A and B are shown apart, each in its own frame.
Chain A
């Protein structure tokens, strides 16, 4: 069953061809057998998962089953799950089991989905290769020694390896889409505010957005149907009706206007990557869409603005990890200062410390205007670029990442080069726009992501476009050679 998509599993459960308990047992066995190779899980919740599976089967016999009831899946370890370790990939939270569920976890629980474990990730979601995790790097099923992308690398590897049909993830600057691209998956980051951030450990609050990593667009639509919606516990979630994202998947694409930003096809992108993306876009023309070149003139400022705003917010968001109430506490603190200093020095890894320092600097007296306020101005210019573009086109397409999966260790000594992994994905976070990555080609036998950026709350149109593409292509069905 492990080769099935989420929708196929849902059908099999509905038809009584299998049970959630059987699926869950198989999933747990496969994780035990194979995850040593990927390290995609930090915590596997065997007992809890089997309990949920039995409850799901019971619900089904009582006629209370929905599309996700009984489906095994993984949570990125950034989503708080009640009484289940939630580490955020950090030593700081190595032993932290929250007494509450994130809204996303609660909604998936309520839908009867079965959480088999918590997926590995870059520490506090800071990284683009899943090499900053305290719990070790994740290996991409597309090749030993290759990174799966980050920060949702564990979620991506687990789905690519067919350990689970779907995983939750978060995207602050590309953390869903870039791993989706590098692992040959469908990754969806909805509009900022579409999914509640309550109970998701914050990295950069104005940019963080939860989403999904799945095999195809239909599965993403199924997940989004459950995860989306207004939450009174998150002031930045939006009170807007949630459509049935599955209902419009098959809509005709004729007349769809697609824009290709010329800035996304510049020197950062190799000719082979560019060719794959252009080929994918050609499929859309075959499906009846019109394609034109557009300009997002401030694109080149996105990475710089992001690496001011995200660390600035993170520097404050991570202040709560102080060794006082929960999380890592140093041995024998001499006084309060010592407690802070050593708990945080020991609890946080290098990349997290780097960003706290950068963010603290950017907010400091004398630098605030030059960095933080300037970055906010750039952010508004980038938003305006998109607003102008969406007057002309319905969807924007381009590459997700500058290159396919790269080797572990390649960029760890060069943070700037690592940050450029997100050069194409960051702008939509700054603008708060929905964006996704779908498999759109191959370079050197490695998957290439096609990025689709939509207008605010236009997830249905994006999923529709992704689904129609997946009906006429098979990039999304390519199986990672190490995936079994």
Chain B
């Protein structure tokens, strides 16, 4: 049977406010446990939440970025459940009237196609604290630094049909929130967390299959792997005559498997009701329009501009706009070198390779944009050959100095002195008489060209790659012609 996968994602984005969503405590990461928990965060008796306007502004920014309806009136609700890291015994969230309504984003897939993924809604809520189970014998530690950190929960429509689409959607959300500067998007530190709702159905069937929810997947790669693993599990289960349970599952990356956490019968009744401590959030068009006017250029617009302004095609531009930092880097290199295509090639080629290999993000890349631009210029003006430029680039990566210093110190300057090249050519011709004869006796033009190139290679080798290849070509051509 042919199966179709249906995926919806719930993405929790930690908003980059200075203070918490309902208290004045700092949201900075990495403080001593409970050093950033105020009386409000600790749910001391009589404490009241006061909404941080910054979180509202950021939610509206996101809503506008995904062309969503912004609710003029949204309401905070209490989601009731007991847990040791949830001090109030309820989480303040938005169940019935979220601040961001229906919207959409488009994603580019590897086959070059584009898909539109619907956003069902996005709502504001507070994060819980953390339970620490290590270091406490027979007990648990509670760290409430994170309690009250603002979250934007972005709920997609069940629009995705493959793990690749889900990962592309997640990357797009990541790009949007980091472009907006409303989150650092750091998945490894939990600034962005993802729950995946996954189901399968026979191809052609309109109703959805029973879904499972994979909780808290914390990297782009794991989202793809977890979904693929879960899809396989579900298909296998159904084909063996079983039934998929509606349940919450956990992805174990080490074993690449999902495991059941709790089934529907044990699901909490959260008893949502409007939080009487907070007034409904009322915002008007003036407020929304002021935010709209201040939005930065977003990934889709930037990609379109890279095509028109720099003459890139869409496939070249798409990976460059994945993050604001990468796009900025590209623009600096393109402007500094005056050659956007070379800039794109270098960034998506050598630079991407070394970043991947060393697991470095563009923000921490040791090669600054100005140096890369200079390097491209040095190839352009013939100071070095394209081939040796890669060597210079590696040296730049290793922090060995500026491009010009490296070229100088390592003696990589291209030899463009015709006398010097002529001497080299003469030497090669003298040392390789057999090759010369072979070339001269060849009658098929194509084969002759190949033999000529072999001789060029010999000259380049003799120059240790430094000879100007165009000049080598010319001089060699002359010599071989005159020796006819």
Interface residues of A (CB under 8 A from B): 80, 86, 88, 93, 96, 98-100, 102, 197-202, 204-206, 232-236, 312-313, 315-316, 319-322, 324-326, 336, 340, 360, 363-365, 368, 372
Instruction: Assess whether B276 is interfacial by the CB under 8 Å rule.
Output: yes
Measured CA separation A200–B44 after assembly (Å):
11
Instruction: Assess whether B440 is interfacial by the CB under 8 Å rule.
Output: no
B273 to chain A, nearest CB (A): 6
A363 and B84 contact, CB distance less than 8 A: no
Which 3 A-B residue pairs are closest in the complex by CB-CB distance?
A319-B89, A206-B276, A363-B271
Known A198-B46, A199-B46, A232-B50; further 5 A-B contacts with Cβ < 8 A: A86-B45, A202-B45, A234-B50, A320-B45, A368-B271
The chain A residue sitting closest to B23, CB to CB, is A233
- Chain B window 39-75, contacts with chain A (Cβ cutoff 8 Å), 1 for yes, 0 for no: 1001111111111000000000000000000000000
Given contacts A100-B44, A320-B88, A322-B89, contact A363 B51 (CB under 8 A): no
List chain A residues, Cβ under 8 A from B279.
Answer: 235-236
Q: List CB contacts (< 8 Å) of B253-306 with chain A.
A: 269, 271-273, 275-279
A235 and B39 contact, CB distance less than 8 A: no
Instruction: Assess whether B406 is interfacial by the CB under 8 Å rule.
Output: no
B271 and A364 contact, CB distance less than 8 A: yes
Q: Which residue in B47, B48, B88, B269 is a CB contact (below 8 Å) of A235?
A: B48
A and B contact pairs by CB, cutoff 8 A, 24 listed: A80-B45, A86-B45, A88-B45, A100-B39, A102-B46, A199-B47, A204-B276, A205-B277, A234-B48, A235-B277, A236-B277, A236-B278, A315-B80, A316-B273, A319-B80, A319-B90, A325-B42, A325-B43, A325-B44, A325-B87, A326-B45, A363-B272, A363-B273, A372-B273
The chain A residue sitting closest to B51, CB to CB, is A235
Instruction: Assess whether B123 is interfacial by the CB under 8 Å rule.
Output: no
List chain A residues, Cβ under 8 A from B276.
Answer: 204-206, 236, 313
Instruction: Assess whether B78 is interfacial by the CB under 8 Å rule.
Output: yes
Given contacts A235-B279, A363-B80, contact A98 B46 (CB under 8 A): yes
A377 to chain B, nearest CB (A): 14
List chain A residues, Cβ under 8 A from B208.
Answer: none
The size of the chain B interface, using a CB distance under 8 A, is: 31
Instruction: Assess whether B307 is interfacial by the CB under 8 Å rule.
Output: no
Measured CA separation A235–B279 after assembly (Å):
7
List chain A residues, Cβ under 8 A from B87.
Answer: 320, 324-325
Instruction: Assess whether B142 is interfacial by the CB under 8 Å rule.
Output: yes
List chain B residues, Cβ under 8 A from A336.
Answer: 83-84, 140
List chain B residues, Cβ under 8 A from A325.
Answer: 42-44, 87
A209 to chain B, nearest CB (A): 12
List chain A residues, Cβ under 8 A from B78.
Answer: 316
List chain A residues, Cβ under 8 A from B278.
Answer: 235-236
A312 and B89 contact, CB distance less than 8 A: no
B19 to chain A, nearest CB (A): 14
Q: Which residue in A98, A312, A322, A365 is a CB contact (below 8 Å) of B82?
A: A322
The chain A residue sitting closest to B42, CB to CB, is A325
A312 and B273 contact, CB distance less than 8 A: yes
Measured CA separation A316–B44 after assembly (Å):
14
Given contacts A320-B89, A325-B87, A363-B80, contact A198 B48 (CB under 8 A): yes
Most A CB contacts (10 A, CB to CB) among B88, B90, B276 go to: B276
B148 to chain A, nearest CB (A): 14
Measured CA separation A127–B80 after assembly (Å):
25
A96 and B50 contact, CB distance less than 8 A: no
The chain B residue sitting closest to A96, CB to CB, is B45
B275 to chain A, nearest CB (A): 8
List chain B residues, Cβ under 8 A from A98.
Answer: 44-46
List chain B residues, Cβ under 8 A from A315.
Answer: 80, 271
List chain B residues, Cβ under 8 A from A232.
Answer: 50
B150 to chain A, nearest CB (A): 16
List chain A residues, Cβ under 8 A from B271.
Answer: 315-316, 360, 363-365, 368
The chain A residue sitting closest to B85, CB to CB, is A324
List chain A residues, Cβ under 8 A from B49.
Answer: 235
List chain B residues, Cβ under 8 A from A322.
Answer: 82, 84, 89
The chain B residue sitting closest to A324, CB to CB, is B84
The chain B residue sitting closest to A336, CB to CB, is B84
The chain B residue sitting closest to A365, CB to CB, is B269
List chain B residues, Cβ under 8 A from A206.
Answer: 276
Measured CA separation A216–B37 after assembly (Å):
43
Measured CA separation A61–B17 after assembly (Å):
48
- Chain B window 77-109, contacts with chain A (Cβ cutoff 8 Å), 1 for yes, 0 for no: 010101110011110000000000000000000
List chain A residues, Cβ under 8 A from B277.
Answer: 202, 205, 235-236
Most A CB contacts (10 A, CB to CB) among B43, B48, B78, B90 go to: B48
Most A CB contacts (10 A, CB to CB) among B44, B90, B142, B278 go to: B44
